[in-house]
């Protein structure tokens, strides 16, 4: 019923309208009142952010607000795999036979999620964590470890809601929705960070390219970067202009994950695993906890 009801819902049009409204410079008093209401509605602690509720010129500027220095300390353990966002774990586990868990009873294809990237088979047998960003959360996305952005793919797609109701009822949702995929080459191997668009998610931006997700007339992109930019662990990688979901992927043997499970809260910069050095792999298996 859910799928049938929302299949023909004008998700793209509504999302463009929301993005436009979020960029409008409303009268300052009206905007400040709306932001204060939003803060109360979602219980946002503004003491950790760089600007007060009245310090934003648009709602989008508030939604993508920056943190105060030190508000998200980075885990300092050698080789730490960091949470790239604030959010909650939707699912976490092992990629098995080229498929990931979307929700209980629903699996979807790794090749579809990575939009047919030629290197997708190398992630089969690795680990993943799907992280949902609530409207109250900080909405910038950060590098989970230090590395070079070697290539990326942008996939225009559908805009199903990534709320728990949508995830539980729409088959292959994450591989159908719009997404921007970043591949980060590290000293330990490679990680992929999939940023998934959704209803009301106006745009996805990244720091290494001037393309904008869900821009009018957007076309698929698949590019290797001749001069790969380096990002340090915890450096800003991109942002959602109105929120969504991030899926972090690691390849077999290259990471040991902490025991993440559905419903766990994570904060950007905290350790969710450890990257495994090449000389350790002969005596270490990839540890993936959670639902597989």
- Residue among 114, 169, 124 nearest 2 (CA): 169
Report the pLDDT value the prediction gives residue 291, as an integer from 0 to 100: 42
Select which of 117, 139, 142, 214 is catalytic: 142
Higher pLDDT: 106 or 141? It is 141
Active site residue 47: no
Res. 158 pLDDT band, cuts 50 70 90: confident
Residue 1 scores a pLDDT above 50:
no
Q: What string of DSSP letters covers 219-285? A: --EEEE-SSPPEE-TT-EEEEEES--EEEEEE-TTSEEE----TT-EE-TTSEEEEEPPGGGGGG-P
Active site residue 112: no
Report the pLDDT value the prediction gives residue 241, as an integer from 0 to 100: 82
| pLDDT, average across residues 40-45 | 94
Report the pLDDT value the prediction gives residue 217, as an integer from 0 to 100: 64
Q: Give the Cα separation of 46 and 112 in Å (integer).
A: 38
Higher pLDDT: 2 or 255? It is 255
Report the pLDDT value the prediction gives residue 292, as an integer from 0 to 100: 39
Report the pLDDT value the prediction gives residue 243, as an integer from 0 to 100: 67
Select which of 83, 90, 117, 244 is catalytic: 244
Res. 66 pLDDT band, cuts 50 70 90: very high
| pLDDT, average across residues 122-150 | 96
Report the pLDDT value the prediction gives residue 147, as an integer from 0 to 100: 97
Burial class for 172, CB neighbours closer than 10 Å (0-12, 13-18, 19+):
middle
Select which of 86, 90, 117, 137 is catalytic: 86
Active site residue 210: no
Asked if 68 and 48 touch (Cβ cutoff 8 Å), the reply is: yes
Residues in contact with 169: Cβ distance below 8 Å, sequence separation at least 6, in sequence order = 2, 3
Res. 170 pLDDT band, cuts 50 70 90: confident
Backbone CA torsion sign across 292, 88, 59, 41: positive
């Amino acid at each position: 019923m859910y799928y049938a009801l929302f299949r023909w819902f004008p998700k793209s049009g509504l999302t463009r309208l929301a993005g436009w409204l979020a960029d409008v410079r409303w009268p300052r008093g009206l905007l400040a009142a709306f932001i204060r209401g939003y803060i109360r509605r979602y219980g946002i602690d503004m003491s950790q952010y760089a600007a007060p509720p009245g310090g934003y010129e648009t709602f989008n500027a508030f939604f993508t607000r920056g943190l105060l220095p030190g508000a998200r300390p980075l885990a300092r353990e050698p080789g730490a795999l960091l949470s790239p966002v604030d959010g909650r774990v939707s699912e976490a586990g092992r990629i098995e036979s080229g498929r990931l868990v979307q929700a209980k009873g629903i699996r979807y294809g790794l090749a579809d999620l990575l939009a047919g990237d030629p290197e997708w088979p190398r992630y089969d047998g690795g680990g993943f964590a799907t992280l949902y960003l609530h409207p109250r959360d900080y909405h910038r996305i950060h590098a989970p470890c230090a590395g070079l952005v070697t290539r990326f793919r942008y996939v225009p797609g559908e805009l199903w809601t990534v709320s728990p109701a949508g995830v539980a009822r729409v088959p292959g949702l994450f591989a159908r929705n719009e997404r921007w995929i970043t591949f980060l080459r590290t000293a330990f191997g490679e990680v992929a960070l999939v940023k998934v668009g959704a209803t009301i998610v106006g745009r996805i931006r990244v720091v290494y390219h001037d393309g904008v997700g869900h821009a009018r007339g957007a076309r698929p992109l698949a590019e290797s970067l001749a001069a790969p930019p380096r990002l340090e662990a915890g450096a800003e990688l991109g942002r959602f202009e109105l929120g969504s979901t991030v899926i972090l992927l690691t390849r077999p043997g290259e990471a040991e994950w902490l025991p993440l499970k559905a419903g766990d809260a994570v904060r950007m910069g905290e350790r969710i695993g450890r990257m495994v050095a090449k000389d350790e792999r002969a005596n270490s298996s990839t540890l993936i906890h959670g639902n597989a």
